Amino acid sequence: MRVDERHAAVTVSGRDKGRLTPDDVMLVDLDGNAVGSELKPSAETLLHTQVYALKPEIGAVLHTHSRTQTVASLLYGHAGSLRLEGYELLKAFQGLDTHETSLNVPVFPNAQDMGVLSRDVGAWLAQDGPAFGYLIAGHGLYAWGRDLGEAMRHLETFDFLLDCELELRRLRS
């Protein structure tokens, strides 16, 4: 979560995300550097902090690895994105007020070099247009919002809509 205009709280590297305690969270600057700690931030910290740096209205970024997200990221990775359209639930994304819209969700190739991956994601984030999250191929989803509740709603909406897309794909084949 964003702490202020120059800092965010992220998880400590290697910690079990399903059993976090206050000791598993640390402060970093928006360049991903630890502040006031010798602990190492999560390897993917730059993917969180760049959202805060490029989108000052964002207060929380979440990252998960659900089965649905991972499968969808591999199925649509070759295309570089997937288009969500016609779903009533698109209105769950902040600022979208009709199902008569579409949302392109980018799928970035996975890379072990966070500098390369954050550069590619950053170029997309810097563009105009609605941006609520993205997929990393074979990995999972990043989603965000103005606060933790909105970020969670966006994450759950993505997961549901991705599951719908996978089910439609099964039914059409």
What pLDDT score was predicted for residue 32? 94
**pLDDT (mean) for 29-40:** 95
Give residue 8's identity as a one-letter amino acid code.
Answer: A
Cβ 101 vs Cβ 69: under 8 Å: no
Cα separation, 74 vs 150, whole angstroms: 26
Cα separation, 10 vs 3, whole angstroms: 10
Tens of pLDDT, residues 120-163: 999 999 987 889 999 999 999 999 999 999 999 999 999 999 99
Q: How far is CA 150 from CA 31, 94, 126, 145, in A?
A: 24, 8, 21, 5
Q: Please tell me the pTM assigned to this model.
A: 0.93
CATH code, 44-172: 3.40.225.10
Which residues lie across from 148 on neighbouring strands? none
Output Rg (C-alpha) for the chain, integer angstroms.
16
* Sequence-distant (≥ 6) Cβ neighbours of residue 15 within 8 angstroms: 24, 42
Name the pLDDT band for 89 (thresholds 50, 70, 90): very high
- Above 90 in pLDDT, residue 53? yes
User: Any idea how long the chain is?
Assistant: 173
Cβ 5 vs Cβ 17: under 8 Å: no
- Above 90 in pLDDT, residue 79? yes
Name the pLDDT band for 112 (thresholds 50, 70, 90): confident
